[in-house]
Amino acid sequence: MEKQKKQILNEDLRKLLFKFSLPAVTGMLVSALYNFADTIFVGNGVGPDAIAGLTVVLPILIFIIAVALLTGIGASSIISRALGRGDEKRALIAAGNSFIINIVFNIILIACFYFFMEDILVFLGASANILPYAEEYLSIMLFGFIFFSLSINSNNLIRAEGKPRASMYVMLVGAVLNIILDPIFIFVLDMGVRGAAIATVISQAVSMIFIIFYFRYGGSVYRFNRKVLRPDFGIIREILVIGFPSFLLEIIGSVLFMVFIKVVRVYGGDQYITITGIGIRIIDLIFMPIIGISHGFSPIVGFNYGAENYRRVKAVLREGLIWTSAIAFAGFIFMVAFPQVLIGIFTDDPEIINNGITPLRLIALLAPLWGFPILGGAFFQAIGRARPALILNLARQLILFIPAVIIMPMFFDLLGVWISWPLTDFLSVILVIVFLARELRIINRKISAGEESALSA
Q: What is the DSSP string of 245-270?
A: HHHHHHHHHHHHHHHHHHHHHHHH-H
Of the residues 218, 250, 268, which one is the last residue of a structural domain? 268
Q: Is residue 76 part of a domain?
A: yes
Residues 342, 420, single domain; the answer is yes
**Amino acid letter for position 453:** S
- What pLDDT is attached to residue 1? 45
Q: Is residue 37 part of a domain?
A: no
Residues 256, 348, single domain; the answer is no
Other Cβ atoms less than 10 A from the Cβ of 203: the count is 26
**Amino acid letter for position 80:** S
Question: Span 37-48, mean pLDDT?
Answer: 87
| pLDDT above 80: residue 205 | yes
**Dihedral angle of Cα 274, 279, 284, 290, to the nearest 10 degrees:** -170
Residues 298, 436, single domain; the answer is yes
- What pLDDT is attached to residue 455? 56
| pLDDT above 80: residue 150 | yes
Task: For residue range 71-96, list pLDDT tens digits in order.
Answer: 887 887 777 777 766 777 888 888 88
Which residues are CB-neighbours of 383 under 8 A, at least 6 positions away? 301, 302, 305, 313, 439
Residue 103 domain boundaries: 46-268
Residues 125, 161, single domain; the answer is yes
Q: Is residue 34 part of a domain?
A: no
Residues 302, 204, single domain; the answer is no
Residues 375, 395, single domain; the answer is yes
Q: Is residue 38 part of a domain?
A: no
pTM: predicted TM-score of the whole model, two decimal places: 0.83
Residues 259, 341, single domain; the answer is no
Cα 299 to chain centroid, rounded = 18
Residues 14, 126, single domain; the answer is no
Other Cβ atoms less than 10 A from the Cβ of 360: the count is 22
Q: Is residue 129 part of a domain?
A: yes
Task: For residue range 1-28, list pLDDT tens digits in order.
Answer: 455 555 556 666 777 778 777 777 877 7
Residues 70, 215, single domain; the answer is yes
Instruction: Among 108-117, 362-371, 385-394, 413-422, name the one with the lowest average pLDDT.
Output: 385-394
Task: For residue range 302-324, list pLDDT tens digits in order.
Answer: 777 777 788 888 888 999 999 99
CA distances (Å), 45 to each of 49, 181, 193, in order?
A: 11, 14, 9
- What pLDDT is attached to residue 457? 54
Of the residues 216, 233, 268, which one is the last residue of a structural domain? 268
- What pLDDT is attached to residue 8? 58
3-state secondary structure at position 195: helix
- Indicate the pLDDT class of residue 224, thresholds 50, 70 and 90: low
Distance CA 371, CA 374 (A): 5
Q: Is residue 95 part of a domain?
A: yes
Q: Is residue 3 part of a domain?
A: yes
Residue 162 phi, psi dihedral angles, 5° rounding: 85, 30
Residues 263, 349, single domain; the answer is no
Residues 319, 445, single domain; the answer is yes
Question: Span 147-166, mean pLDDT?
Answer: 79
Number of structural domains (the chain) is 2
Q: Is residue 40 part of a domain?
A: no
Residues 200, 292, single domain; the answer is no
Of the residues 245, 268, 291, which one is the last residue of a structural domain? 268
